[in-house]
Structure 1
Amino acid sequence: MTKAELYQELNYVNHSREKRLKYANLVIDNPKLVAPLLEILFNVDDKISCRAAWVFEFMCGEKLEAIIPFLDTFTDNMHKVHLDSAVRPIAKVCEYITKAYYGKEDHLLKTHLNEKHKEKIIETCFDWMINDEKVAPKAYSMVSLYLFGQEYDWIYPELSLILERDFQLQSAAFKARARQILKKIKK
């Protein structure tokens, strides 16, 4: 399948779990499609990029190690994503990555995620926290930043400051997640 054919196929992706999973499995079964999927995803002003982001998120949810050859591409470009329905899945992928990296189970990401990748994920997550984003990317970012804070001692003071500052202005969902993260930080 060519990039153009994949682009056409993405027209059939919708919010349904069934469609996203179908196309995620298509990409998992054809690893050569990951690069064109990312090219489409990072064409950030095209509405189809959101559909590519949904498929990419589901692909990572099913087989996270498929991202490893593309960590540079992903971390170098994720900050460019700005459409709301694309930011959420990208933030979720960041959470997948950090959970795998800091998790108890062995994962290939533990040997492939380098300092540059971590810095870019941290920077982008902080951007999502301070910018006018929806709750979901902020919630995923909180988790990622909390986990990175176990390694980088400067993160918790910054994250706590943002969470406490924004607490009253945000939704109930933000407040609930912020409460959890602040409680963990203070332990």
Structure 2
Amino acid sequence: MNLKESLPEYNSQTETKRILHWIDGSPQHFADLMDIFFEGNTRKNQYAAGIMIHCIDRWHFLITPYIERLILNLQNEGLHDAIKRNTVRVLQDVDIPENLHGIIAEICFNYLKNPAEAVAIKAFSMTIIDNLTQFYPELKEELHFILEEQFPFQSAGFRSRAGKILKK
């Protein structure tokens, strides 16, 4: 299958199932999907991001070779929220290499501080930072300050995730 040509620009459950069946845990087929994901900032990239999540939910091992590239991609300006959201969603559940801790911490803190950032991106970012506090306990103070500062003004989803982190 030529995934680039057959991937629709719209979200379709039927097409998603067909593509997931084709990928079926294959690193080579997943690589085709990730090529589309990293290729730009179009509707196909956004759709590929959604399929990536379904793949990782089923075949977690597939994401390992892409962790660094996912993080570095977040440094690009003007990424669509779907790309950012699905990337940080994946990164909250993986072991991030130590040499990338500083980069991802900075990215996630910037997302948290940005009032225009989507709630889901902020929620996944706070989890990534919370995960990093295992290695860098000094990050807890800054994370807690930001969460407490924003807590009264954010959505229920933000407050729920922030409340769990603040209770730790």
Q: Deviations over 1:87-144 (max 9, x none)?
A: 22111101121xxx4xxxxxxxxxxx42123333323222221222211111111122
Q: 1:171–1:24: structure 2 CA closer, same or farther, 3 Å change rule? A: same
Counterpart of 1:143, as a letter, is T
**Cα distance in 2 for residues equivalent to 1:95 and 1:70:** 14
**Cα distance in 2 for residues equivalent to 1:144 and 1:116:** 15
Q: Deviations over 1:64-99 (max 9, x none)?
A: 2112222332222133372122222111101121xx
Hey, what does 1:85 align to over in structure 2? Answer: 82
Q: 1:123–1:22: structure 2 CA closer, same or farther, 3 Å change rule? A: farther
**Cα distance in 2 for residues equivalent to 1:9 and 1:180:** 42
**Cα distance in 2 for residues equivalent to 1:117 and 1:73:** 10
Q: Which of 45, 52, 62 is matched with 2:58 structurally?
A: 62
Measure how far apart 1:21 and its partner are: 5.0
Mind listing any 5+ residue stretches in structure 1 that lack a counterpart? 102-112
Measure how far apart 1:29 and its partner are: 3.6
Instruction: Name the TM-score, length of structure 2 as normaliser.
Output: 0.84
Hey, what does 1:109 align to over in structure 2? Answer: none
User: Is the CA contact 1:84–1:134 (under 8 Å) kept in the aligned structure 2?
Assistant: yes
User: Is the CA contact 1:21–1:58 (under 8 Å) kept in the aligned structure 2?
Assistant: no
Hey, what does 2:156 align to over in structure 1? Answer: 172
Measure how far apart 1:156 and its partner are: 0.7
Mind listing any 5+ residue stretches in structure 2 that lack a counterpart? none
User: Is the CA contact 1:7–1:40 (under 8 Å) kept in the aligned structure 2?
Assistant: yes
Q: 1:147–1:29: structure 2 CA closer, same or farther, 3 Å change rule? A: closer
Q: Which of 144, 149, 168 is matched with 1:160 structurally?
A: 144
Hey, what does 2:72 align to over in structure 1? Answer: 76
Measure how far apart 1:54 and its partner are: 0.6
**Cα distance in 2 for residues equivalent to 1:52 and 1:23:** 10
% of aligned pairs identical?
Answer: 29
User: Is the CA contact 2:92–2:128 (under 8 Å) kept in the aligned structure 1?
Assistant: yes
Hey, what does 1:119 align to over in structure 2? Answer: 102
User: Is the CA contact 1:94–1:121 (under 8 Å) kept in the aligned structure 2?
Assistant: no
Question: Larger % of helix: which?
Answer: 1
Hey, what does 1:128 align to over in structure 2? Answer: 111
Q: How many residues align?
A: 166
